[in-house]
Chains A and B, each alone.
Chain A
């Protein structure tokens, strides 16, 4: 059957296909107009964007030339005798991420309870608290870093506070959702044995939410290590400060060395967090 179809003359197959799927070969007028209008709008918008950005060709060429020029200085990477300093800065970065995530988690627990519909029933309060979370996580970590530099001064402490503030909203939201989605039977079971309210929270609610919190905390620690590397660019401590300095003073071999160190560290943290997650959360035998 199939062989006979293939053996049929090409024109015959084509006309058969045209007969069976006319809209593929001759799309309707409406469809064609929509397609053309879409492309015209798209091209117009791109042209508008280019017009706003005013990229001048000589400027672009010059930039590419300079990029090529500095590219040859990137290799070979060298630490220029600052290996200890870089390592310490990297340690600072990782500890900023760790402490920031830790603080954010601690703050997110009570906030999550406040934002959960089944803990606080008042819809007005619920709406207000949720919008507050949205507001906090709408502000980027780097903006928080700038604000905290104004408040507590330059240094890694500002970075810690920035990470904690930036993540608090997101973690609190996730945590509130976890509380809303939990199974009420477990809490009822604990309640039926005559437990007090605190005991219901400790033995009925927290065991259900802790795995969610822990796995999210690990994810956030991972992503915070990435964002902590750039917090230093605005002066909040860590490896980013060294990186921005080296770029400013044109030491490109050290720049590439620092970038390499960052990549290795981030990969190592990813691996570590994956191992911990596998051990603690994915393991069905493990109970809190």
Chain B
């Protein structure tokens, strides 16, 4: 601490030349001076940061119409919402109460299956598209700069627009139903996966690539026989990770009319059917966390295989 703030070149009084020598700790005034200037500059920095932060906070409080009255009114409202959403379960008639709470279980499970199908098909299409785009977008596999640049920009555009926005546009074009949801999520995940895939590609061992090239293989053969065997486990792992994310999004794009359990959830929230809200949300959470666990196990299996 002390040494880091101390100038390491020091003018020798006797000869007047600048030379490296350890600081003289006996010169207390210099130590104190350096220390106080450090403290001062830190304090100044802290004040500037604090003022900027306070300004941003005040501005955003103003812009987002935060009003303490509303908050005070809102918090009990939230509590009330929770109370209403909670099912009434008695120990005596537990099975009957549960049946009443989950009165639409069959219907909801079928919708949940729809949601999973949407997420799965979107992952499939997105992975296929990403496979198509990721090889031209890897610096070490593509030497034509325009193609490289084009595929990179395309993926950036695809992943920067939220899937809900795509879903809104596609619902307009294709009408209500699962198709716009699949396409919206597929396009978003094509961009996101393509970026991850191309990063995997850029980290491969290049000697198999040289080997296939030396044997006279063309670009596609290089990709097929030198690159894909190296990257496939990682690709599969990323695709599984994306499947988890996409099933969540599939439940969300239902809000704008793209089918599945999301549409039903949107409906019951808008209609204030409180106990149905809690039932569906709980069902959704359980499904998603079950799937997360399965996918995580599969991913570890895949990556473990690669390590071995």
A residues at B contact (CB < 8 Å) = 45-46, 48-50, 52-53, 55, 59-60, 62-64, 66-67, 70, 88, 91-92, 94-96, 98-99, 102, 134-135, 138-140, 142-143, 146-148, 150-153, 155-157, 159-161, 226-227, 229-230, 233-234, 237, 243-244, 247, 255, 259, 262-263, 266-267, 285
Contacts and interface: CB of A to CB of B under 8 A. Distances in A.
B164 interface: yes
Contacts of B179: 53, 55, 59-60, 63
A234 B63 contact: no
Contacts of B77: 151-152
Contacts, number: 154
Contacts of B206: none
Contacts of A102: 57
Contacts of A159: 64
Nearest to A158: B74
A157 B178 contact: no
Contact of B65 (A45, A66, A157, A243): A157
The listed residue with most A CB atoms (<10 A of its CB), out of B74, B160, B173, B270, is: B173
14 contacts: A53-B118, A53-B177, A64-B173, A88-B63, A95-B61, A135-B285, A148-B74, A150-B269, A152-B73, A233-B256, A234-B266, A237-B65, A255-B169, A267-B160
Given A138-B285, A147-B269, A52 B161 contact: no
A230 B265 contact: no
A233 B124 contact: no
A229 B66 CA distance: 18
Contacts of A62: 174
Given A53-B118, A150-B81, A152-B74, A233 B182 contact: no
A259 B161 contact: yes
Nearest to A231: B164
B175 A150 contact: no
Nearest to A63: B174
A123 B272 CA distance: 37
Interface of B: 4, 56-57, 59-61, 63-67, 70-71, 73-74, 77-78, 81, 113-114, 117-118, 120-121, 124, 157, 160-162, 164-165, 168-170, 172-175, 177-180, 182, 248, 251-252, 255-256, 259, 265-266, 269-270, 272, 277, 281, 284-285, 288-289
A159 B60 CA distance: 12
Contact of A234 (B170, B173, B177, B255): B255
Given A152-B70, A229-B162, A247-B168, A160 B178 contact: no
Given A53-B178, A161-B74, A67 B170 contact: yes
Contacts of A99: 57, 60-61, 64, 66
A147 B81 contact: yes
A18 B126 CA distance: 38
Contact of A146 (B113, B180, B256, B269): B269
A27 B221 CA distance: 22
B288 A138 contact: yes
B64 A53 contact: no
B121 A53 contact: yes
Nearest to A287: B42
Contacts of B178: 52-53
Contacts of B277: 147
Contacts of B162: 226-227, 229-230
B74 A156 contact: no
A70 B173 contact: yes
Contacts of B248: 140
A88 B60 CA distance: 12
A157 B269 contact: no
A143 B168 contact: no
Nearest to A102: B57
A259 B158 CA distance: 12
A209 B294 CA distance: 32
A244 B168 contact: yes
Q: Which are the 4 A-B pairs with shortest beta-carbon distances? A: A95-B60, A63-B174, A138-B285, A156-B64
Given A96-B64, A143-B281, A49 B120 contact: yes
Contact of B172 (A142, A150, A247, A266): A247
A7 to B, nearest CB: 14
